[in-house]
Amino acid sequence: MSSTADIIDQLIGAAESPKAEALRERRPVTREHAQKSWLALFQPADASEASLTERYAVATFVAALHGETQIGAFYAEGLARQEGGEQIATVIEALAGANKAIGPYGHYPSGPLSREDLDGPGWTIAVEQRAALGPRLAAALQHAHLLVFHPRDARPEALQALLDAGWSATGIVTLSQLVSFLAFQIRVIAGLKVLTAA
């Protein structure tokens, strides 16, 4: 994929929609930095701490958890281009389909925000799916699910689980940035689609 292609433009079909293009042109700095973030995550100079397979797999899973089929398909195509990606995509599709929720769930520290506490389902990957994904990717998907649906419940033990699975501190930062970026990208695209349709 060309590094010059703006991914958000591509996903909203800006080339075919003058209104979408005009909306994006109103925020040139946001547009530029969103694309730079995508390039840093998916065309990195160094992918040794988080492989492209892992990055595309997590992105596919996060998009599916958000119920974004178009965005999920885009990242699944990227995953399919990686070694073993098609098999991983099949497992991820099953995992995401079986673990849909609404969220976010979790509990704040005791105080005024506690009234917003909400219990919700946790998630553990089945043994056979964990074996198919490998310990690193299984731990990454488990962490991504936590950040999407239980961000209030993030604890040091969650980071330790990643370290135990072979993730480095740098890789964990990249993984967390990836989940955060996907949430941002999904919301920007949803907002642009609503404004374009108005």
Q: What is the pLDDT of residues 41-87, one digit of tens each?
A: 999 999 999 999 999 999 999 999 988 999 999 999 999 999 899 99
Q: Is 118 helix (H, G, I), strand (E, B) or coil?
A: strand
Q: Per-residue pLDDT for 138 more than 80? A: yes
pTM for the model:
0.87
At 2 the pLDDT is 41
Residue among 67, 61, 76 nearest 145 (CA):
61
- Whether domain 48-197 has CATH 3.30.365.10: the reply is no
Q: Is 106 helix (H, G, I), strand (E, B) or coil?
A: strand
CA 52 to CA 49: how far, in whole Å?
10
Every domain of the chain and the residues it spans: 48-197
Of residues 197 and 163, the one with the higher pLDDT is 163
**Amino acid residing at 99:** N
* Mean pLDDT of the 108-136 span: 80
pLDDT in tens, 81-113: 998 999 999 999 888 876 666 667 667 777 777
